[in-house]
């Protein structure tokens, strides 16, 4: 991408001025979806509904836990106690 081209990951956008002037309208027009907030025609941040944000955090936690499981599966068996001896 060139220096002036930006990837916008939502189908809805609003200017930061629109958000400042009437945040309720921007949220209503999003119809439950995420909105890319633009500052000088470049994405500045995303407004994301709470349920979507919670789902994203849950997915990230699942990925992190999956990596932890894989790492532990690759560890040597000697690191684990012998439950029969306890």
Report pTM: 0.71
Q: Is the pLDDT of residue 1 over 80?
A: no
In order of their start, the domains of the chain are 13-85 (3.40.1620)
Residue 14's nearest CA partner among 29, 45, 42, 36 is 36
Convert the pLDDT of each residue in 5-43 to its tens digit: 889 999 999 999 999 999 999 999 999 999 999 999 999
Q: Name residues whose C-beta falls within 8 Å of residue 33's C-beta, 6 or more positions apart in sequence.
A: 10, 11, 12, 49, 52
Question: Burial of 18 by CB count in 10 Å (0-12 exposed, 13-18 middle, 19+ buried)?
Answer: middle
Alpha-carbon distances, residue 19 vs 42, 45, 82 (angstroms) = 15, 11, 60
């Amino acid at each position: 991408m060139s220096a002036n081209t930006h990837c916008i990951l939502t189908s809805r956008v609003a200017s930061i001025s629109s958000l400042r002037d009437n945040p309720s309208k921007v949220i209503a027009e999003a119809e439950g979806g995420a909105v890319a907030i633009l500052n000088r025609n470049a994405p500045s941040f995303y407004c994301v509904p709470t349920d979507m944000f919670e789902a994203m955090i849950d997915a990230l936690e699942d990925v992190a836990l999956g990596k932890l499981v894989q790492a532990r599966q690759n560890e040597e068996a000697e690191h684990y106690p012998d439950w029969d001896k306890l």
